[in-house]
Chains A and B, each alone.
Chain A
Amino acid sequence: MKKPRTMKLSLPEEELVGSGNLACQGCGATLAMRYVLKALGQRTVLCIPACCWSVIDGPFPYSCLGVPVYHCAFETAASTASGVKAGLEMVGDPETTVVAWGGDGGTFDIGIQALSGAAERNDDILYVCYDNEAYMNTGIQRSSATPYGAWTTTTPVKHFKNRPKKDIDAIMAAHRIPYIATGSVAFAEDVYKKAKKAKDIKGTRFLHIFAPCPTGWKSRPEDSIKLARMVVQNCIFPLYEIENGEKYTLSIKVKDKKPIIDYLKLQGRFRHLTEDDIKLMQEEVDKNWERLLRKVESSV
């Protein structure tokens, strides 16, 4: 009899996210947590502000996570994490990785002051922003991470969002923190590798993970991974690292850059856009991509 072959796994088998959680079908935020925790392991504590994950984790007294969680106020992910880190150090635990885990609203908008403060002090925390591009937990309201053109419940199609997504990574780079990386849940190994790298760096580290939201994007749950892959291939959300605020490195060198239209078509939130709107958006994406390439080239 032939010996059965074993599947070669590219990620550790250990799961720190339990199956009985409250995520929607096709939730990218849940995958982001799975991959990051696989990299960080059990000696991790999480500070989770108001966001989808404050629900996904499960109601009191339950938690679907295998690591301790402090549910903190909306705008305090970074400042709470700074306090937790200092507190753990003072009680003799300098090893545990302290993570602030927020959505885009808690990071780009209401939590940016605390995040900027922690980054300027270079507090020894890992900040992870899973970005589903709107306030999904409260029912799909626009945030400053919502892309140009998108429908949300506060940017109805007649007045869709007419400002580009805030460039949070550039803002974080301006703080000259040791490590910044973008990730997308379609690239699990890349997210894992970056979280692992971030874990071993001292100071403020920032991971920005693209996390599709079928509920808010009016997309099919089974398309989440596809969308998370397309957004990288069409360069709307390139994968890269920034070290010490100045060394830019592309994680995936996109050679055959895809047009954004196929990505937009899979999502109801972009259904209203005209050809002219899409042309404008494509130009913006091209410009951003060129700008990033220049930063990458100039840091070599």
Chain B
Amino acid sequence: MKKVIMGNHALSYGAMLARSQVIAAYPITPQTQVVELLSEMCADKTLDARFIKVESEHSAMAACIGASIAGARTFTATSAQGLALMHEMLHWASGGRLPVVMGDINRSMAPGWSIWTDQNDSLSQRDTGWMQYYCASNQEVVDTVIQAFKVSEQLAIPGMVVLDAFALSHTYEVVDIPDQAKVDEFLPPFKPQVRLTPDDPHAFGGLTSPEHYFELRYKLQKDMEKAPALIEETGREYEKLFGRYLGLVDDYLCEDAEIILVTSGTAGYTARGAVDDMRKSGIKAGNLRVKVFRPFPFEHVRRILKNAKKVAVVDRNISYGHHGMFFQEVKSALYGHDNNLPVFGFIAGLGGRDIMPSSFREVVEIALAKDKPEEEIIWIGVKR
């Protein structure tokens, strides 16, 4: 069934179709519509779930963790400050191997107060052991939530579905809402190996000495390493039922591209339009949109960038004192494989400033004019 819905409601539909059983959430702009619709769905029994209206995001994630260890499929959504407040509990969910799925609406971190998009909120959580998916359309949001549950539950690793504030969260698009019966066929009920129950009493998360802790983290990484193949396999399975493939990356006109723009989120689609325009004027540009940031799709990135002469990574985020974070990852993927490929690092659109097709043209012009980058960071559209 096709519907015109906003990005936030795409998250709600994803959570509903996945038959989330416990939702615990706290409101924050621009996430509110996600939980408003879910609370309506719970109230009118469209969704058979318990909605815990907690008093903070920290409690939201704690309650999700409690529900998940009890054996329930669990969902929440937040943004920016809320995600930062959850930080401790993000470690708890992944360290506890609980497949909670969460929507995060990318919003810039205060101060100054901002409700507009950039990626520093979610990327600040990159080392918490969560899988991170970056979406560029409302269709992708619905499809990603459903697949994220399947992948997370198989690996016992939580997943974060990320979308840009306003550019996606409040933008209405036509979405093909998957059929519930087919989703049920794709995603069986959550049946964890162990859970908190008096029928089989265990203690979870107790004091763990150096004799054991290291191995628990080793296993988390080993399972995270299984994720790229599983995300692809799950994507193929989903494609068979619904005709849409998600995967780890979205590459556009990269085979013969001399310069490849590496992007994520909605800016990725803007880049695609810019690539079309540049192609018309004779510039052989391509676009690699990274959909999954954790685990990072090293092999795909290497393979797709292989024949390029130059790479321009455009980050809507910054690791202060270092670089944009996708830039860091792309370089680390190439190091030892193709050390001579010039990779230019651009930062644009912080705090929700628009990233326009013209921004990408500027990026490409700068990169084409130089043999290799002369600056650590090249800023696009900043007022100096």
User: A123, B66: Cβ atoms under 8 Å?
Assistant: no
User: A72, B92: Cβ atoms under 8 Å?
Assistant: yes
For A79, give its contact among B54, B195, B203 (CB under 8 Å): B54
User: A59, B206: Cβ atoms under 8 Å?
Assistant: yes
Chain A residues positioned under 8 Å from B208 (CB to CB): 59-60
Given contacts A80-B65, A80-B66, A89-B50, contact A60 B207 (CB under 8 A): yes
Q: Is B212 an interface residue, CB under 8 A from the partner?
A: yes
Q: Is A174 an interface residue, CB under 8 A from the partner?
A: no
Can you identify 7 A-B contacts, CB atoms within 8 angstroms? A58-B206, A59-B208, A60-B208, A73-B88, A79-B24, A83-B66, A87-B69
Given contacts A59-B206, A69-B203, contact A83 B63 (CB under 8 A): yes
Chain B residues positioned under 8 Å from A156 (CB to CB): none
User: A63, B89: Cβ atoms under 8 Å?
Assistant: no
User: B66, A72: Cβ atoms under 8 Å?
Assistant: yes
User: B198, A70: Cβ atoms under 8 Å?
Assistant: no
User: A54, B206: Cβ atoms under 8 Å?
Assistant: yes
Chain A residues positioned under 8 Å from B212 (CB to CB): 60-61
User: A83, B22: Cβ atoms under 8 Å?
Assistant: yes
Known: A42-B201, A54-B207, A71-B205. 6 other contacts (CB 8 A): A44-B198, A67-B198, A68-B203, A83-B63, A86-B22, A90-B72
A82-122: which have CB < 8 Å to B?
82-91, 93, 96, 113-114, 116-117, 120-121
Chain B residues positioned under 8 Å from A69 (CB to CB): 201-204, 206
A interface residues with partner B (beta carbon < 8 Å): 42-45, 47, 54-55, 57-63, 65-73, 75-76, 78-91, 93, 96, 113-114, 116-117, 120-121, 123
User: B196, A70: Cβ atoms under 8 Å?
Assistant: yes
User: B63, A65: Cβ atoms under 8 Å?
Assistant: no
Residue among A66, A91, A123 facing the most chain B CB atoms (10 A cut-off) = A91
User: B65, A83: Cβ atoms under 8 Å?
Assistant: yes
Chain B residues positioned under 8 Å from A96 (CB to CB): 197-198
Chain A residues positioned under 8 Å from B200 (CB to CB): 68
Q: Is B62 an interface residue, CB under 8 A from the partner?
A: yes
User: A90, B49: Cβ atoms under 8 Å?
Assistant: yes
Given contacts A68-B196, A70-B205, A96-B198, contact A84 B52 (CB under 8 A): no
CA distance A47 to B88 in the complex (A): 17
Q: How far is the CB of B91 from chain A (nearest CB, A)?
A: 9
CA distance A24 to B160 in the complex (A): 43
User: B197, A82: Cβ atoms under 8 Å?
Assistant: no
Q: How far is the CB of B192 from chain A (nearest CB, A)?
A: 10
Q: Is B209 an interface residue, CB under 8 A from the partner?
A: yes
CA distance A87 to B68 in the complex (A): 7
Q: How far is the CB of A207 from chain B (nearest CB, A)?
A: 20
User: A117, B56: Cβ atoms under 8 Å?
Assistant: yes
User: A63, B72: Cβ atoms under 8 Å?
Assistant: no
Q: Is B71 an interface residue, CB under 8 A from the partner?
A: yes
Residue among A55, A83, A121 facing the most chain B CB atoms (10 A cut-off) = A83
User: B58, A75: Cβ atoms under 8 Å?
Assistant: yes
Chain B residues positioned under 8 Å from A84 (CB to CB): 66-67, 69-70, 196
Given contacts A72-B65, A87-B70, A90-B22, contact A65 B197 (CB under 8 A): no
Q: Quick one: closest B residue to A87, CB to CB?
A: B70
User: B67, A90: Cβ atoms under 8 Å?
Assistant: yes
Interchain residue pairs A-B with the least CB separation, the first 4: A83-B66, A87-B70, A117-B55, A83-B63
